[in-house]
Amino acid sequence: MTTATAAPRRAASLGTPRLSFSHLMRAEWISLRSLRATTISLLIGGVLSLLIAVGFSLMLAAMARDQGAGLAAMPSADTMGTNAVLITQLVAVVIGVAAYAKEHATGSLRTQLAAAPRRVSMLGAKAAVVALAMFVWSAIVLALSFVGVAVVYAAFDFPLQLSAARVVVPILGGAALVALSGILGLGVGALLRSENWSVTVVLVFLLLVPTVLMSLPFEWAPQVADLLMGETGSALYTVPAAFDADVVRDILLTIAWPAAALIAGMAVVRRRDA
């Protein structure tokens, strides 16, 4: 008499779950908004941007009225509105750098990589979230700056003399520049992994290097300065007299600098331990 033996059960095979890019973006969004420093930076940056745009408009309008020069002594309203771009750029750089460097410093980056080991996709998701967040935030800040400038001009009976293009282009173009600045900060942060050094390097690159080059007594120095993001960025939010090859070059260079930083950061992150 034979005894029937049950065939051994095969262990259920559970495939390794793969996180989609949308899942990575959702996780990065949660990570970004959970940082108290992000909220504080956005609030302070927004308030300072509005104060600068409205404050300068108010000061110059009062001076123009007292001197009897009227509107002729005033910069255009779109120029006054885009005074907020610089502050929003600085905030974007800080947030972009922190999105990688701060997480590396606190060790939370290792936890992210344990859940999502695809490092290039992880950094790409960070770039997408930082860019989208900075674009929306800066567009709101710039729109409010234009409203504030318009109120000042109306209070002094100065006509705005703005076309639709001179409102839409500065707001959306300025927001695009801010988003690209955030990506630049993220790429440099991934390269250096130090929050302080990364912010310093980016700000020196954007603000100091073009100024120094412009002051050098060499023919090549201003030509090099014209190729840097600190000089080319204004092409995104300025309505040109003619959309010529120089404008196209400046726009492409403004996009190329953050793209190069991000690609370099991806290459380093892919090969280096977290």
Per the model's pLDDT, the better-predicted residue between 76 and 59 turns out to be: 59
Q: Which of 94, 263, 118, 256 is nearest to 191 (CA)?
A: 263
Q: Is the dihedral of CA 250, 125, 138, 46 positive or negative?
A: negative
Q: Is 210 helix (H, G, I), strand (E, B) or coil?
A: helix
CA distance 57 to 75: 9
* Interval 42-73: pLDDT, tens: 999 999 999 999 998 888 888 877 777 666 66
From 257, 91, 265, 78, select the one nearest 178 (Cα to Cα).
Answer: 91
Q: How much is the pLDDT for 13?
A: 43
34-43, 68-77, 103-112: least confident range: 103-112
Contact 233, 88 (CB under 8 A): no
Choose among 183, 207, 182: nearest CA to 264: 183
Other beta carbons within 10 angstroms of residue 160's beta carbon come to: 16
pLDDT at site 214: 92
The structure tokens 């992000």 sit at 38
Q: Which two tokens stand for residue 37?
A: 């420093």
In angstroms, the Cα distances linking 187 to 35, 96, 158, 229 are 19, 8, 44, 14
Find the mean pLDDT for residues 241-253. Answer: 91
Which pTM was predicted?
0.86
Residue 227's Cβ-count burial label (10 Å; 0-12, 13-18, 19+) is middle
Instruction: State the average pLDDT for the chain.
Output: 84
Dist CA 24 CA 34 (whole Å): 15
226, amino acid identity: D
Statement: residue 92 has pLDDT above 90: yes
- Alpha carbons 261 and 73: distance in angstroms, whole number: 41
More confident residue, 15 or 144: 144
The more confident residue out of 4 and 145 is 145
Q: Show the tokens assigned to 177.
A: 């520049």
Is 70 exceeded by the pLDDT of residue 225? yes
**Lowest mean pLDDT segment, chosen from 66-70, 94-98, 149-153:** 66-70
Residue 37: what pLDDT? 80
Nearest to 104 by CA among 128, 122, 130: 122
Intra-chain end-to-end CA distance of the chain, in Å: 63
Tell me, what DSSP letter sits at residue 11?
Answer: P
Condensed to tens digits (0 to 9), the pLDDT of residues 122-150 reads 889 899 999 999 999 999 999 999 999 98
